[in-house]
Amino acid sequence: MNSYAESVLNNLRKRYPHEPEYLQAATEILESLSAVIEKHPEYEKAGLLERFVEPERMVTFRVSWVDDSGKVRVNTGYRVQFNSAIGPYKGGLRFHPTVNASVIKFLGLEQILKNSLTGLPIGGAKGGSDFDPKGKSDAEVMRFCQAFVSELFRHIGPDIDVPAGDIGVGAREIGYMYGYYKKLVNANECAFTGRGISYGGSLVRKEATGYGLVYFTREMLKTKGEKFKDKKVVISGSGNVAIYANEKATQMGAKVIAMSDSDGYIYDKDGVDVEIIKKIKEVERKRISEYLKYRPDAKYIQGCNGIWTIPCDIALPCATQNELDAGSASALIKNGCIAVAEGANMPCTLEAVKLFLDFGVLFAPAKAANAGGVAISALEMAQASQRMFWSFDRVDKELDNIMVNIFKQCADAAQEYGFPGNYVVGANIAGFVKVADAMMAYGIV
């Protein structure tokens, strides 16, 4: 690693030893930026990397709400406004018990580069809470969302910071949060994306991350003369990203043979029926084990890791961070997997990524492969400013073009800096250069 990047990383390790996810993301990024830093000695003089890895602002706040039994509950809310060099802060909100400052900072840091790669004018942010929507009634989720926004609203706005969804935050939660925001500020403005179609949302937003992941993977497969048709695909998760990755891969002629949730996974040799998964997860909000009621010949296996031992051609981890470790990567490689593309954020550990690269498995890093969601969020903002709605086909075509362009940027940057086919290095460099140029132009701020 370049000595300047290494000193910045060592300093972070000293200051944030209790933030492992944030350090993991910073390590991956700083390691792969070495080549570009060597070319720009002026970055060190300007303290560019120190400023890049430190959030511009982070707010932590109390969220007090009342459950259905009348008991007062308290959660912690977070918003990290990491970098606004190229546009207003933009990034999702995650509601999950594992949320803490480290998780939010890792997601925010990644988001800066992801948003830059889309080619759209959006800065990087992320937020959320350790609140768990699972098992809560609609009324409890609504009261929580309103309490959360009663603090968050003062930090966001259409030209300042525009949150969206992430794990545990789907259409229902965005509806409750935007409804309360609108009431508080007395304005109908695009301060959240992922909104319903009847109140300012964009067509294809729901599908965007999963579809975009498959478009990116299609481009990557092309470099080896491969395509989705007739390939066996394993997808972890059964949430927003996983469902629409299944839908698009199936449309392209692949067979998705396994999906999961945090309890276990299903294996269906005839292809997992995505309409059944939508019914179980989007409508009934039940467990994936219910799938066997509709498809008795499928198998359900308790526990998540085993999903990567199923022989497949393409693996799409779409659940959560660090869900695919070195052992799982070895199993995939041994079984002849040719491509892995990250739908979730940082689902593969650093060791797993290294194995994929060493063994010549095509590997698509999250910040490039799952950028489709935030790209369509930015198009939702554009439609809101125009007071226009674009058709499904138009937005889907825009999404496809954006993903093709992201792939090209990653491939070109990897080639230019001497790492052909390494899209991890390519994505980090291509995303970083644009942000770095803007930060240099602003002087020390």
Nearer to ligand NDP, 318 or 337 (CB): 318
CB of 229 to ligand NDP, least distance (A): 25
The SS3 call for residue 350 is: helix
Nearer to ligand NDP, 93 or 149 (CB): 93
**Closest residue to ligand NDP, based on beta-carbon distance:** 239
Q: Is 301 exposed, middle or buried (0-12, 13-18, 19+ CB in 10 A)?
A: middle
Q: Is 188 exposed, middle or buried (0-12, 13-18, 19+ CB in 10 A)?
A: exposed
Dihedral in degrees, nearest 10, Cα atoms 251, 253, 254, 255: 90
Which of 7, 2, 40 is CA-nearest to residue 432? 40
Q: Is 262 exposed, middle or buried (0-12, 13-18, 19+ CB in 10 A)?
A: middle
CB of 295 to ligand NDP, least distance (A): 18
Nearer to ligand NDP, 187 or 197 (CB): 197
CB of 364 to ligand NDP, least distance (A): 13
CB of 261 to ligand NDP, least distance (A): 3
Using CB under 6 A as the criterion, which residues of the chain lie in contact with ligand NDP when the complex forms?
A: 165-168, 170, 209, 237-242, 261-263, 304, 318-320, 323, 343-345, 370, 373
CB of 27 to ligand NDP, least distance (A): 19
- Contact criterion met (CB below 8 Å) for 80 and 55: yes
Quote the CA–CA distance of 356 and 344 in Å, as a whole number. Answer: 17
Nearer to ligand NDP, 344 or 362 (CB): 344
Active-site residue identified among 90, 105, 114, 126: 126
The SS3 call for residue 243 is: helix
Question: How long is the chain?
Answer: 445
Quote the CA–CA distance of 202 and 197 in Å, as a whole number. Answer: 6
CB of 237 to ligand NDP, least distance (A): 4
Residue 126 is a catalytic residue: yes
CB of 2 to ligand NDP, least distance (A): 29
CB of 321 to ligand NDP, least distance (A): 6
What is the residue-wise DSSP string for 272-335?
Answer: --HHHHHIIIIIS---GGGHHHH-TTSEEEESSGGGGGS--SEEEE-S-TT-B-HHHHHHHHHT
Nearer to ligand NDP, 25 or 439 (CB): 25
Tokens found for residue 110: 């990644």
Question: 244 to each of 64, 205, 239, 338, 360, how far by Cα in Å?
Answer: 34, 11, 9, 21, 27
Question: 418 to each of 1, 34, 117, 221, 385, how far by Cα in Å?
Answer: 15, 12, 20, 21, 41
Which of 429, 283, 366, 329 is CA-nearest to residue 92? 366
CB of 418 to ligand NDP, least distance (A): 29
Question: What element of type H or E holds 59?
Answer: strand 57-66
The SS3 call for residue 132 is: coil
Nearer to ligand NDP, 48 or 348 (CB): 348
Which of 39, 31, 157, 59 is CA-nearest to residue 436? 39
β-sheet bridge partners, residue 259:
266
Which positions are catalytic?
126
